[in-house]
Structure 1
Amino acid sequence: MLVGMIFSSLLLQGPRPEAVCVDLKGKTLIPLSRAQPNPPKATVLIFYLAHCPISQKLTPEINRIHKEFSAKGVKFYMVHEDLTLTSAEVAKEAKAFALTPPIVIDKWRSQKKMSGVMISPEAVVYDSKFQPRYKGRINDLFYGLGKMRPKARTRDLRDAIANVVAGKAPANSETQAIGCILPKS
């Protein structure tokens, strides 16, 4: 409840400071940079730990969403939060699980702090002005730790992105993500 109230207040605030990450080659980048000459229709950050079984199970759906919406002008980043791994190890994990979105390492935890995300996998969708419009689960395939439905009933992330691309507010600005807790520091 408190996290929901905090995220809701973020939706109403103005611009936030830009958060820095590094790609797998060590290049510094700012996924939500307002200095982009042609901002994307939306930017999606998916916080991810490859060793999390729920993240692994949802990887095919994440890849499908990435394929569908990157073709429509949406920018995606898999935000890796396990700082105990080297870039080479993160790349090896990404290959092993066939992740297709580009991966960034949240070396200073700035993306995590800015978004308030605490779970892997958990997504945040930003509009073309880099304002957060959705935070939460990929879908409802998991309804508790170790509790999985045969098939997801909702398409929360997919629907949120579609609404943001269409210039509409998502039906739900926040859903509860189920998964592994991200490291604190």
Structure 2
Amino acid sequence: MANTPSNMLPLGSKAADFELFDTVSGKKLSLAQLKGVNGTVLFFICNHCPFVIHVNKELVRIANEYRSKGISFIAISSNDVEHYPQDGPELMKKKALDVGYPFPYLYDKTQEVAKAYDAACTPDTYLFDENLNLVYRGQIDDSRPGNDLPLTGSDLRNALDHLVHQKGIVENQKPSMGCNIKWK
């Protein structure tokens, strides 16, 4: 299990546009179609990473809680499926349905979207405001597989609350930690 940190894209960065295949609906979906009224969260995740498996239920809880507040959630997998077939589109759909993702699970076959966001690990989390300007990037919370800290989503929830209640940008932002994206 690799411990790869986020690259921490500069705050204020504009969200890179994309159109990717949604493994659940079978449709191509764009950022413009999916963005939220008040904000948009992008998760770079994959099926097999122990860090993602550890946080999956919390991602679902957070998305279910904040969707009613005008926040949209999007998950993207950019892993090389030739060498990591467990992260392929068919198994992504199965994972999304099994876990109950209340958000699209998009397949970044060319890895161009991950590169555009300077994504480094899974999970890698980005929160954009209503104008698609980056206001948070980093960890969901301090919990990691095996460290016995409770999984609360506190860091991401704090950033979401700051955005929803227009309190400005959270000052203390820690990088996420996880498996490295499996580049081609």
The equivalent residue for 1:80 is: 77
The equivalent residue for 2:130 is: 128
The equivalent residue for 2:52 is: 55
1:86 deviates by 4.1
CA contact (8 A) 1:127 1:165 kept: no
Give me the CA root mean square deviation. Answer: 2.6
Q: After superposition, where does 1:82-121 map in structure 2 within 5 Å?
A: 82-84=79-81, 85-121=87-123
CA contact (8 A) 1:141 1:148 kept: yes
With the length of structure 1 as denominator, give the TM-score of the two structures: 0.80
Aligned AA (1:126): F
Deviates more, 1:113-122 or 1:169-178: 169-178
- Provide, for residues 81-138 of structure 1, a one-character-per-residue CA deviation record: whole Å limited to 9, x for no partner: 2352443221112223333322111223233122212111121000000011111111
Task: Name the CA shift for 1:30/1:110 in 2 (closer, same or farther; >3 Å).
Answer: farther
Secondary structure of the 1:75 match is strand
The equivalent residue for 1:40 is: 37
1:184 deviates by 2.0
- Provide, for residues 122-159 of structure 1, a one-character-per-residue CA deviation record: whole Å limited to 9, x for no partner: 210000000111111111112xxx54233247711111
CA contact (8 A) 2:12 2:134 kept: no
1:17 deviates by 4.7
Q: Distance in 1 between matches of 2:47 and 2:66?
A: 22
The equivalent residue for 1:172 is: 171
Aligned AA (1:169): G
CA contact (8 A) 1:46 1:79 kept: yes
Structure number with greater CO (CA < 8 Å, separation at least 6) is 2
Tell me the number of residue pairs that the alignment of Structure 1 and Structure 2 aligns. 173
The equivalent residue for 1:158 is: 157
Aligned AA (1:160): A
The equivalent position to 1:139 in structure 2, one of 138, 141, 144, is 141
CA contact (8 A) 1:49 1:82 kept: yes
With the length of structure 2 as denominator, give the TM-score of the two structures: 0.81
Q: Distance in 1 between matches of 2:116 and 2:71?
A: 20
